Amino acid sequence: MAWGGLFLSFSRPSQDQQKSCLSAAGGFNYDAPLHGASRPKSVAKLTAGDTEASDKALVERGFFVNRSRVLVGSGTTTFNHAKSALLSWKHLALGWANVEPDTPVKAGTRFCICYKELIPWVMLPLQIAYVTDGNGGNSSGHGKGCVFAYGSGTLQGHLLAGEERFSVQLDEDDQVWYEVMSFSKPAHILSSLCYPYVQLRQKHFAHQSGQALLRHVASRSRDTRFPWFVTKSKGRMKDKHKRNPTVPRNR
């Protein structure tokens, strides 16, 4: 249901409700020159010091800039696990906030972040503005400087106006970093009145997203390091089933 320009639901929104939200939402609700402004300026230097200058320019235009960065691990295997998390939206599987996991990660895709706030759920419509998949100049696609990132812009009907980028990078020291970067400002009277609270929730969201990604990578790493344990466990379950069949054999 739409209320006061917002898309609300008193239970977790269904896919049909999300489709209705996206059909009713218009285009981007922030200035066209800023579409894609969260895109990494340099694939090889995602965390370069010139980010301060770009952040300052956004602040001067009235946006709140939020960055959250966490060390995931090291090596190409960890990078690939982190990338797979972004492709399957594991970084947003937070319980109180989520995206449909089969949402395609490609430019132009429209989707909802379903967000639980107090009693109702809020559907926040967005569109993927860009996808960056760089290899740092290495033809194998797995060299140092690899970065995978995508940014989503807010649509009409969103509480905020701006963009948010999720990225993973394998830096020159072989370390894998996950970063959430966003710039936004109020786009609704509710977010205007409660903006200090909204800013705190944005920081909390970014932190929780980092923790979700770390859990996913740790789980994938265990499966990769100890495949024999998974296989052996399944074998034991199969043997147990043979010894204690649920359906007795005919005699």
**pTM greater than 0.85 (yes/no):** no
Distance, in Å, from the CA atom of 187 to the CA atom of 27, rounded to the nearest integer, reads 13
User: For residue 145, which amino acid is it?
Assistant: G
CATH dotted code for 2-42+59-227: 3.30.530.20
pLDDT in tens, 151-194: 999 999 999 999 999 999 999 899 999 999 999 999 999 999 99
Q: Which two tokens stand for residue 9?
A: 């639901």
Confidence of residue 5 (pLDDT cuts 50, 70, 90): confident
Whether pLDDT at 248 is above 50: no
Residue with tokens 């926040």: 124
d(CA 33, CA 14): 34
Neighbours of 103 (CB within 10 A): 17
What are the domain boundaries of the chain?
A: 2-42+59-227
Higher pLDDT, 134 or 76: 76
User: Of residues 248 and 154, which shows the higher confidence score?
Assistant: 154
Tens of pLDDT along 53-103?
889 999 999 999 999 999 999 999 999 999 999 999 999 999 999 999 999
At residue 51, the pLDDT reads: 79
**Sign of the CA dihedral running 132, 136, 140, 143:** negative
Confidence of residue 129 (pLDDT cuts 50, 70, 90): very high
- Secondary structure (H, E, C), 4-67: CCEEEECCCCCHHHHHHHHHHCCCECCCHHHCCCCCCCCHHHCCCCCHHHHHHHHHHCCCEEEE
